[in-house]
Amino acid sequence: MEVPSSTGRALMVQPPRRVAGSRRTRVLVASRTALGHGWAMDAPEADDQRWMRAALEEAARAESAGEVPVGAVVVLDGRVIGAAGNAPLHDCDPTAHAEILALRAAARTIGNYRLAGCDLYVTVEPCPMCVGAMLHARIRTLIYGCPDSKAGAAGSRYALAEDGWNHRLVVRSGVLADECARTLQAFFAQRR
């Protein structure tokens, strides 16, 4: 099935079991060709960069809506099952971080709040609330772009993923870190 995207190009998607979402949260199951990234690199580096670029697209959509440009995607078996950008201002919701919205979309897609086997890609290191949600959702791997020295909870300021919880969250960082950091720096430079 072909679905228009906010980037202006059509995405080929497989229909999810449940389609739900607001203006700010898109639930989709995309094939590799749907995202338009077809370059060859060694996996997992190739996949990490590909999915981080998808998260950067979500960050750009958030920025165009006046939000802090943070984007996240949840991937299961090589398919995006949830994607979102920050939306606390738009939704009047302090919990509407990109990671939380992407987790909600992914859970609706598969019909289960447990997201075992899923990987979450986010452009900036998540805060304590978001890492906690990932632990509860049983996310397999968190992959983030740039660190957040003020509120990062995956190693920069706090290391919540390593605190002996009943679930082990694998954390990888630095994927497209410079590009992710530049996106945030440019946004805040315009605001000052």
What would the pLDDT profile of 106-140 be if each residue is shown by its tens digit? Answer: 999 999 999 999 999 999 999 999 999 999 999 99
Give the model's pLDDT for residue 162: 86
Marked catalytic residue, from 57, 58, 63, 99: 99
Please return the burial class of 54, using the count of CB atoms within 10 Å of its CB with bins 0-12, 13-18 and 19+.
buried
Active site residue 99: yes
pLDDT at 105 exceeding the cut of 90 = yes
Give the model's pLDDT for residue 106: 98
82: which 2 tokens? Answer: 């949830």
What does the alpha-carbon distance between residue 72 and residue 138 come to, in Å, rounded to a whole number?
16
Tens of pLDDT along 14-40? 333 333 343 333 333 333 333 333 333
Strands 170-173 and 141-146: parallel
Tens of pLDDT along 34-54? 333 333 334 567 899 999 999
HSE-CB of 178 using CA atoms within 13 angstroms: 0
pTM: 0.79
Give the model's pLDDT for residue 76: 98
What integer best gives the mean pLDDT of the chain?
83
